[in-house]
Amino acid sequence: MTVTPHTEPGLARRFLRSPPVRVLLLGFILLLMMGMNQDVMTSYASEPVKAVQHIVALAIAGFAVYLGYAHFIEQRAASELALPGMGRELGIGLVIGAGLYATCELVLMAMGIYRIDGLNPLSFMIPAIAMALASGIFEELLFRGVLFGAVESWFGSWAALVVSSLVFGLTHLMNPEATLEGALFIAVEAGILLAAAYMLTRRLWLSMGFHVAWNYTQSAIFSSIVSGNEAASGLIRSTIDGPDYLTGGNFGVESSVLALVVCTATGIAMAVMAAKRGKIVPPIWKRAI
């Protein structure tokens, strides 16, 4: 019987597979594609159906790039994008993500801060699809798939949660009407929520569902500001009048105490569940050899 000796990967491949290079190379490619998403939404602002079609095509390309990097460079199966169970996790994420945002607005309604003035035609709900898909898919591939995964491989899950959350929040400083407070709110509430969803399932579908549904519900249904961007007309015509700490002011509900409490509590609950189920990866120096 012939035994094929195990060969170590070459220096070039080990270099490309290292976490820092993964962040720089794969992250850079995904950032370029995110820029293309923005160009598509700007070019087809008056043709929302075409915008959705182009964003879906770019999303497929984004998945292909991510999977291709895992297969050819890292020589591994990208289990974080495994298809079995995808529908269930994505569906749960969509329902809970929409529910979390709706909860914030329902509290504002009960307080008389958010008032419904009327409804627009259902067609007003189409334009936000492209935005929600682009942000939910590509930001999760980048911040949870690439950044979280890279940091976790060396420093463990808790460090990855902190780093990915901070970077995710601070990148929102580039948005219109951005404030440091809003960026830090997103780092805490959304960073913990989305990272915990990844830790709990070890896949990206749940966090993608959360992300897509939150942004879509915010814009397409409640016609609210999304992370400092100008509010678009969605299903509900509304009037908002209340203190910034409850409404989020010009940055949107993400910068409100309501979102901070609701989303952070949900994220912490999932992180605790992940820890109880043994899903937390320790730093490399604490792993069994």
| Tens digits of residue pLDDT in 152-172 | 999 999 999 999 999 999 999
Q: Is residue 56 part of a domain?
A: no
Q: Is residue 136 part of a domain?
A: yes
Q: Is residue 68 part of a domain?
A: no
66-78 mean pLDDT: 94
199-210 mean pLDDT: 98
Question: Dihedral through CA 16, CA 22, CA 23, CA 27, nearest 10?
Answer: 110
Q: Which domain does 101 fall in, by range?
A: 83-286
Q: Please state whether the predicted TM-score (pTM) of the whole model is above 0.85.
A: yes
Q: Show the DSSP H helices in the chain as ranges.
A: 11-17, 19-21, 27-43, 48-68, 86-110, 127-139, 149-155, 157-171, 180-201, 205-216, 244-247, 257-276
**Confidence band for 8, pLDDT divided at 50, 70 and 90:** low
Contact 169, 185 (CB under 8 A): yes
**Whether residue 14 has pLDDT greater than 90:** no
Q: Is residue 147 part of a domain?
A: yes
Count: domains in the chain = 1
pLDDT of residue 191: 96
Q: Is residue 183 part of a domain?
A: yes
Q: Is residue 50 part of a domain?
A: no
| Tens digits of residue pLDDT in 264-279 | 999 999 999 999 999 9
Q: Tell me the C-alpha distance between 130 and 118, whole Å.
A: 24
Q: Is residue 118 part of a domain?
A: yes
pLDDT of residue 85: 92
Q: Is residue 246 part of a domain?
A: yes
